[in-house]
Chains A and B, each alone.
Chain A
Amino acid sequence: MVEFRIFRFDPEKNKEPEFKPYQFEPFKGMTILEGLYHILENMDSSLAFRSSCREAVCGSCAMHINGVYRLACKTQIQILKSPITIRPLSHLPIIKDLVVDLNPFFDRFREIKPYLIPKENPPEKEYLQSVEDREKIDDWLDCILCGACYGSCPVCAQDPKYLGPHALLKALRFVDDSRDGATRERVAFVTQNSGIFRCHTIFNCREVCPKDLDPTKAIAKLKWKSVFKKF
């Protein structure tokens, strides 16, 4: 038997949030997300949460599970101690229960222009890149924008304008891309007041990233680039 203690809050109906307990028998290998679906389908149809791919690719089901930001679909119940406490991502307005308003998160992301700005007119066919140049961006490519890093970052809690680990990691992905022509502007932009220098190198983002990326390292790299302007 396992007990889920789930954060329940509907801003339109409730004054205060509460943790509601749900007990059920999990099957072997059952994930937190499957547990949430079990509750939704058999115990409480009013429970709200986000999910989509169920295989750690879409990043929809990031939540705070037993003290750590994780993907519900990638976390098995058996590795955690019951009762399992589940909360929504932090620093974001709650829409209902485990569903948060991701607009502030994506607003910061859009600010860094997360798309390629070519140096000159793009070629007619492929945009060729050497193997060495491609390897330079390997470490920054796999972000699924789940928000775990954003939720775990105390600077994001304090400064809503702070670009955040997700946006800064993506900024470096384009700064390091040999095909991108806006490197100087990108580095100048992330050097602004709510950019890289607000990062306190706490490593929370690195600890929680479900794709094992290292936004702290990316931010450190951007800091050095902003000083020596080697790009």
Chain B
Amino acid sequence: MNQKQSFSSAYGWFIQRITGILLAFFLIVHINVLHFGEKFFIDFNMVTQRLEGSFLWAIFYIIFIPVVLFHGLNGIWGLVEDYRPSQGAQKTVKVLLWILGIVGTFYGILAITPFL
């Protein structure tokens, strides 16, 4: 038995569960407001009006963005692992997913900050 194994996948698995639970809440609110709560046509003005009217909505999306990105990208990582890529390919995909996650989170939050 190799005793020097990493525990990082354990935390990835655990955070995936936590973000999954959070997503159940976020998605119910998000889909309910956008697709059932508002009129049939959704445009940029309607979204900005809602965000301008409430500080809480901005906070809601600032939390929602990293949660959904982590859950989605970590899910992709799980799929990639199923195909047993080589060590090099694993490293490349991991770095790409991290970059995508960080850039996506930064860009998403940047779009929300004017409404704070």
- Enumerate chain A interface residues (CB-CB to B < 8 A): 111-113, 155, 158-159, 161, 182, 184-186, 188-189, 191-193, 197-198, 223, 226-227, 229
Contacts and interface: CB of A to CB of B under 8 A. Distances in A.
Contacts of B81: 193, 198
A227 B11 contact: yes
B5 A227 contact: no
Contacts of A226: 7, 10
B14 A191 contact: no
B14 A159 contact: no
Given A227-B10, A227-B13, 10 more contacts: A112-B1, A113-B1, A155-B82, A158-B84, A188-B2, A189-B3, A191-B5, A191-B7, A193-B81, A198-B82
Interface string B73-87: 000000001101000
18 contacts: A111-B1, A112-B1, A158-B82, A158-B84, A161-B84, A182-B1, A184-B3, A188-B1, A188-B4, A188-B5, A189-B2, A189-B5, A191-B5, A191-B6, A191-B9, A193-B81, A226-B7, A229-B7
A179 to B, nearest CB: 17
Judged by DSSP, the binding face of A is helix
Contacts of B1: 111-113, 182, 185-186, 188-189
Contacts of A229: 7
Given A197-B9, A223-B10, A223-B13, A192 B2 contact: yes
A188 to B, nearest CB: 4
A159 B84 contact: yes
Given A185-B3, A188-B5, A227 B14 contact: yes
A184 B84 CA distance: 26
A177 to B, nearest CB: 15
Contacts of B3: 184-185, 188-189
Interface string B1-34: 1111111011111100000000000000000000
Contacts of B14: 227
A188 B13 CA distance: 15
A227 B5 CA distance: 13
3 tightest A-B CB contacts, nearest first: A226-B10, A188-B5, A189-B1
A4 B84 CA distance: 38
B10 A197 contact: yes
Contacts of A192: 2, 5
A111 B6 CA distance: 17
A11 B84 CA distance: 28
A159 B11 CA distance: 22
Nearest to B3: A185
Nearest to A154: B82
Contacts of B7: 188, 191, 226-227, 229
A111 B1 CA distance: 7
Contacts of B13: 197, 223, 227
